[in-house]
């Protein structure tokens, strides 16, 4: 008989109700994942209470605890509250997935200060907020796995997304710096950089726009949130114990 409790991990996922975040929550909580049988999960979210309730019901796994916590990822105080809640409910934290993110696309000359600041605060400052909050728990147990969701836009840029590109490039720089700071404590930091992924945003594209995107993708398809979640699942597993400070593109070959 498999001893479930001995193989479980305790995870917190930000931006967990939609798209990639939702897929990551399900990957960690609902299935055998790279040597981790199940994970107990707290997912943080800032909008859509109904989405949070639906996700909890959808997982419906008798072996797994799944809790939702409403918090603004750009606020350190709220991030700290979410982390403390997760540590209390789960008995500790082994895994942090920094996934919270927004877009406020505009050409630079048309972009206002609020559009720039909001993207930096949610996409980049949230990584500072949650990483800082979670480290006291991980350092005490001398174990931790942190995965930051960046983007290929942070590597190559994109017109109309200077704020988004800056935030995601910052996530990569922070990932590498923290990987060096905390490697001696057995805490790894890695980043995943998705390319074009099937989300609510890409669903709005017409056929011509979609074909234009796919011309830049050698595998000639958009990725799925599950494609990203599987890579995250690998990076938090024991199979990735010797990997830190890396950026893994999940982009169908778009950036080589």
Q: Supply the residues annotated as catalytic.
A: 164
The DSSP string of 57-103 is HHH--TT--EEEEE--TT-HHHHHHHHHHHHHHHSS--EEEE-----
The residues, any chain, with a CB within 8 Å of residue 228's CB and separated by 6 or more, are 20, 23, 24, 149, 192, 194, 197, 250
Residue 158: CA atoms inside 13 Å, Cβ hemisphere, count? Answer: 20
Tell me the C-alpha distance between 69 and 239, whole Å: 29
The residues, any chain, with a CB within 8 Å of residue 184's CB and separated by 6 or more, are none
């Amino acid at each position: 008989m498999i001893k479930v409790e001995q193989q479980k991990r305790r995870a917190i996922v930000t931006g967990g109700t939609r798209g990639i975040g939702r897929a990551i929550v399900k990957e960690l909580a609902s299935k055998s994942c790279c040597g981790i049988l199940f994970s107990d999960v707290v997912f943080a979210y800032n909008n859509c209470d109904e989405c949070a309730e639906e996700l909890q019901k959808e997982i419906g796994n008798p072996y797994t605890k799944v809790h939702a916590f409403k918090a603004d990822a750009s606020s350190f105080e709220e991030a700290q509250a979410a982390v403390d809640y997760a540590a209390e409910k789960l008995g500790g934290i082994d895994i942090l997935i920094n996934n919270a993110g927004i877009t406020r696309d505009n050409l630079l000359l048309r972009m206002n200060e609020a559009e720039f600041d909001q993207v930096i605060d949610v996409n980049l400052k949230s990584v500072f907020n949650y990483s800082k909050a979670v480290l006291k728990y991980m350092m005490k147990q001398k174990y931790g796995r942190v995965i930051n969701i960046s983007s290929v836009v942070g590597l190559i840029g994109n017109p109309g997304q200077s704020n988004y590109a800056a935030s995601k490039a910052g996530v990569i720089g922070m990932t590498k710096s923290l990987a060096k700071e905390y490697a001696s404590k057995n805490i790894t930091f890695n980043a995943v950089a998705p390319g074009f992924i099937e989300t609510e945003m890409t669903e709005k594209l017409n056929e011509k726009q979609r074909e234009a995107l796919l011309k830049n993708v050698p595998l000639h398809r958009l990725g799925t949130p599950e494609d990203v979640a599987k890579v995250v699942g690998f990076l938090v597993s024991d199979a990735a114990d010797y990997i830190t400070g890396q950026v893994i593109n999940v982009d169908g070959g778009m950036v080589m």
